[in-house]
Amino acid sequence: MKEEIFISGRDIPYIDPFLNIWHWQIPIYLFLGGLAAGILFFASLYTILGKEKEMPTTVKWAPFLVPGALVLGLFALFLDLKHQLFFWRLYTTIRLESPMSWGAWVLMFITPLSMVWVASYLRELIPSWNWKFQWLKDAEALAIKNRKPMAWVLMILAIILGIYTGILLSAFNARPLWNNAILGPLFLVSGMSTGVAVIMWMSKSHYERKVLSRIDLLLIVIELFFITHMIMGSLAGSQAMIEAIDLFLGGEFTVSFWVFVIILGLIFPAALEILELRGYKVPIAIPAFLILMGGLVFRFIMVEAGQITRYLY
């Protein structure tokens, strides 16, 4: 038997008896960031492919949610800071080794750019909209003319943003559950899948929904594949990693992970989408909602569970 205790007494807030310095703000932000990255990725992808007409919701309407999601996400991040008045310090340095610095700078660029993107479609959404000032009208014309280059930049930034939500966690070697290289791609794919779910839900065109639900099906399969890799990779790892992944394989988070993330969040919506492709009538809101719920729960579980895993000594 081996037992380890603090005999000098230690009960530091958020650190003892187990770490929970990151609360609901972080998973909310990871969810909104991934969602925004997903929507922007497909909006720019279909712009580059020149399919604005066939995929109007993807390219034009769904991005209207992005600035809101990003601002809300940033606000959640701000709430998480403990020394809030110094938040601007993020923008006085560029630290290439720090994922959080990458994230802060990417958001600095992608948020305004997504607003410009949305603004360039505003008059299509509200035909009576008037920009009032001539310079705003000129700016709009410039944005509309440069949608393609803007789409390229947005697509690259969206990929960085989506991967970053995973790397933010996987870069912490001290938390064995997170310290898994597959987490970056996994969060990117999961974010894309939630983005597609939102677009699907908003779309009124039958053709667009069909294309999107095929993409979503593919993303879910990739996600399941990555999750399998995450579990296998950890099981093949050190004792600390085995004990970490055990939280999902019989430990504290087993039920929430398998029921809400794997079954209700991935397998069930995938089955519904297959049924729909086979010609059955399935209200699109059901798979879309389940995917969003699964994505959100997944991020909550990962952040919660990761923090209680640690090196053993």
Partner 1 sequence: MRYAMAIDTKKCVGCSDCVVACQTENNVPLGYCRDWITETVDGSYPNVEIELRSERCNHCDNSPCVRCCPTGASHIVEGGIVLVTHDKCIGCGACIESCPYDARYSHPEGWVDKCTFCHHRVTKGELPACVSVCPTKCMYFGDLDDPNSEISNALKNRKYKALAPEAGTKPQIFYLV
Question: The tokens 């606000």 sit on which residue?
Answer: 75
- Under 8 Å CB-to-CB from 144, ≥6 apart: which residues? 120
Contact between 80 and partner 1 (CB under 8 A)?
yes
Q: How many CB atoms lie within 10 A of CB 85?
A: 7
- In this structure, is the dihedral angle defined by the CA atoms of residues 247, 248, 251 and 252, taken in order, positive or negative? positive
Stretch that binds partner 1, among 10-18, 154-162, 242-250, 263-271 (CB under 8 A): 10-18
The residue (of 15 and 235) whose beta carbon lies closer to partner 1 is 15
Query: How near is the Cβ of 301 to partner 1 at its closest, in Å?
Result: 16
Let me know: does 265 contact 212? Beta carbons within 8 Å: no
Distance, CA of 232 to CA of 240 (rounded, Å) = 14
Contact between 256 and partner 1 (CB under 8 A)?
no
Stretch that binds partner 1, among 40-48, 100-108, 137-145, 272-280 (CB under 8 A): 100-108
Let me know: does 74 contact 32? Beta carbons within 8 Å: no
**Run of H or E residues at 300:** helix 285-308
Query: How near is the Cβ of 311 to partner 1 at its closest, in Å?
Result: 4
For partner 1, which residue of 44, 203, 234, 307 counts as binding (CB under 8 A)? 307
Closest by CA position to 122, among listed 108, 107, 137, 106:
137
The residue (of 14 and 129) whose beta carbon lies closer to partner 1 is 14
Contact between 53 and partner 1 (CB under 8 A)?
no
Question: Per-residue string for binding with partner 1, 268-287, x by CB under 8 A?
Answer: --------------------
For residue 175, give both structure tokens.
């938390």
Contact between 22 and partner 1 (CB under 8 A)?
yes
- The HSE-up count of residue 308 (CA atoms within 13 Å, CB side) is 15
The residue (of 43 and 301) whose beta carbon lies closer to partner 1 is 301
Angle between helices 206-235 and 285-308 (to 10 degrees): 20
Closest by CA position to 237, among listed 308, 181, 307, 164:
181
Stretch that binds partner 1, among 85-93, 150-158, 205-213, 224-232 (CB under 8 A): 85-93
Contact between 115 and partner 1 (CB under 8 A)?
no
Contact between 79 and partner 1 (CB under 8 A)?
no
Contact between 86 and partner 1 (CB under 8 A)?
yes
Stretch that binds partner 1, among 8-16, 31-39, 40-48, 192-200 (CB under 8 A): 8-16
- Burial class of residue 244 (count of CB atoms within 10 Å of its CB; 0-12, 13-18, 19+): buried
Residues that bind partner 1 (CB under 8 A): 1-15, 19, 21-22, 80-84, 86-87, 89-90, 92-93, 95, 97-101, 104, 171-175, 238, 307, 310-313
